[in-house]
Amino acid sequence: MVIVMRAKATEEHLGTVVERVESLGLRAHISRGTDQTIISVIGDERFVDPRTFEAFEGVERVVPVPHRFRLASRDFHPKDRVLELRGGVRLGGNDVVMMAGPCAVESREQLQETAEAVHAAGVKVLRAGVFKPRTSPYSFQGLGEKGLLMLREVADELGMAVITEVLTPEDVPQVAEHAEILQIGTRNMANFRLLRTVGNAGKPVLLKRAWGATLEELLLAAEYVLVEGNEQVALCERGIRTYETSTRFTLDINAVPALKQMSSLPVVVDPSHGTGRAELVAPVARAGVAAGADGLLVEVHPNPSQALSDGAQALTPSAFALLMEEVRRVAGAVGRGVS
Ligand code: PEP
Ligand code: MN
């Protein structure tokens, strides 16, 4: 349940309610808004009568939360959550945030060329993998630390923020030192130890939906990060596995408005992995923005046929520049800007 305090409630009122919550063996997570404080009750509350709290001084109302996720829910945090990034970029605000770059850092030249191209097209967040979660152990595994340092250097030269995937809890401190956003990949969405570790990393997290996860499972995974005290979480729809084989995955467009309704966390669409086919990336990106996505994650490579990973879905710099124009028009049509 969620306990909404009156605007005039004092610290003492709040303290009394929290004490009662804790005496029942539950935890109280407090969210202080500008005019109202909300307490989310965490734990097995099945045997607690919400009316217990209605009588407390300072309590305005008690709202039962009909789902298993709490901190990620709109009931707990009605206003859209906004992730503040480098360069004044706000993920979850009015602008659709573009994040683009190669699937993986392959070399300084490849990274530099791609970064300059997406930067010239107006992108402020550079994406690239350095620890690659490959399905086959024989595929290119990424440049690791060397790639991470390259990524930081190139992004700094252009004044861009960095988003990159972190694969293991051991890698979190190093990646957090060099990246503005820690990406949790689809294959790690339910790696709960990793989720708790990024929950303590003090950096924004982009959590990708596992290709076989329901939206509730995705939100429960986000809950692992939030409950550790990290409120800077964004969700990413990157395609789910269906019976369809003509595309790599099936981008679940329903997930965008459904997640926005269930949760106040920003929602990002990844049309690259969602389709696996470069020629489908722009139309699906446009659909994502039209459906209400707060950001797009797009793979770009200067020479897709030579890419060491995901070449089939990589856009050339010129195709990406066209996508940017189209996204600007669609964003404008739904009352949003692009940054
Ligand atoms: C990626 O963004 O590079 C990636 C590996 O994505 P996913 O985890 O969605 O497959
Ligand atoms: Mn990729």
Pocket-testing residue among 208, 218, 298, ligand 1, by greatest number of atoms within 8 A of Cβ: 208
Contact (CB, 8 A) for 336 and 94: yes
Å from CA of 32 to ligand 2 middle = 38
**CB of 186 closer than 6 angstroms to any ligand 1 atom:** yes
**Position 336 confidence tier, pLDDT thresholds 50, 70, 90:** very high
As a whole-number percent, the residues of the chain with pLDDT over 70 amount to 100
Å from CA of 132 to ligand 1 middle = 8
Ligand index nearest the alpha carbon of residue 164: 1
The model's pLDDT over 164-196, given as tens digits with 9 standing for 90+, comes to: 999 999 999 999 999 999 999 999 999 999 999
What's the sign of the alpha-carbon dihedral 134, 97, 266, 155?
A: positive
Å from CA of 302 to ligand 2 middle = 15
Closest residue by CA, ligand 1 atom 3: 103
**CB of 295 closer than 6 angstroms to any ligand 1 atom:** no
Q: Nearest 5°: phi and psi at 165? A: -80, 145
Q: Pairing relation of β-strands 295-299 and 95-101?
A: parallel
**Position 46 confidence tier, pLDDT thresholds 50, 70, 90:** confident
Q: Pairing relation of β-strands 90-91 and 83-84?
A: antiparallel
Cα 249 to the center of its chain, rounded Å: 19
**Nearest ligand 1 atom, CA 297:** 2
**Nearest ligand 1 atom, CA 186:** 8
**CB of 133 closer than 6 angstroms to any ligand 1 atom:** yes
Pocket-testing residue among 162, 163, 165, ligand 1, by greatest number of atoms within 8 A of Cβ: 165
Closest residue by CA, ligand 1 atom 1: 103
Q: Which residue has the tokens 């596992």?
A: 210
The reported pLDDT for the residue numbered 51 is 85
Q: How far apart are CA 108 and CA 283, in angstroms?
A: 30
User: Of the candidates 325, 327, 318, which has an alpha carbon nearest to the alpha carbon of residue 297?
Assistant: 327
**Position 104 confidence tier, pLDDT thresholds 50, 70, 90:** very high
Cα 175 to the center of its chain, rounded Å: 16
Sequence-distant (6+) residues with CB within 8 A of 179 are 148, 151, 152, 162, 163, 164, 203
The model's pLDDT over 118-149, given as tens digits with 9 standing for 90+, comes to: 999 999 999 999 999 999 999 999 999 999 99
- In the three-class reduction of DSSP (H, G, I as helix; E, B as strand; rest coil), residue 290 is classed as helix
Span 95-113, mean pLDDT? 98
The reported pLDDT for the residue numbered 241 is 98
**CB of 103 closer than 6 angstroms to any ligand 1 atom:** yes
Distances (CA, A) of 188 to 34, 209, 212: 35, 9, 12
**CB of 185 closer than 6 angstroms to any ligand 1 atom:** yes
Q: How far apart are CA 3 and CA 54, in angstroms?
A: 8
Contact (CB, 8 A) for 62 and 53: yes
Q: What one-letter code names the amino acid at 280?
A: L
Q: Around Cβ 216, how many Cβ atoms within 10 Å? A: 12
Contact (CB, 8 A) for 18 and 39: yes
Q: Which residue has the tokens 């690259």?
A: 272
Distances (CA, A) of 66 to 19, 69, 74, 226: 24, 9, 11, 18
Q: Nearest 5°: phi and psi at 113? A: -65, -45
**Nearest ligand 1 atom, CA 310:** 3
Å from CA of 336 to ligand 1 middle = 26
Residues with CB under 5 A from ligand 2 (ion): 103, 310
pTM over 0.75: yes
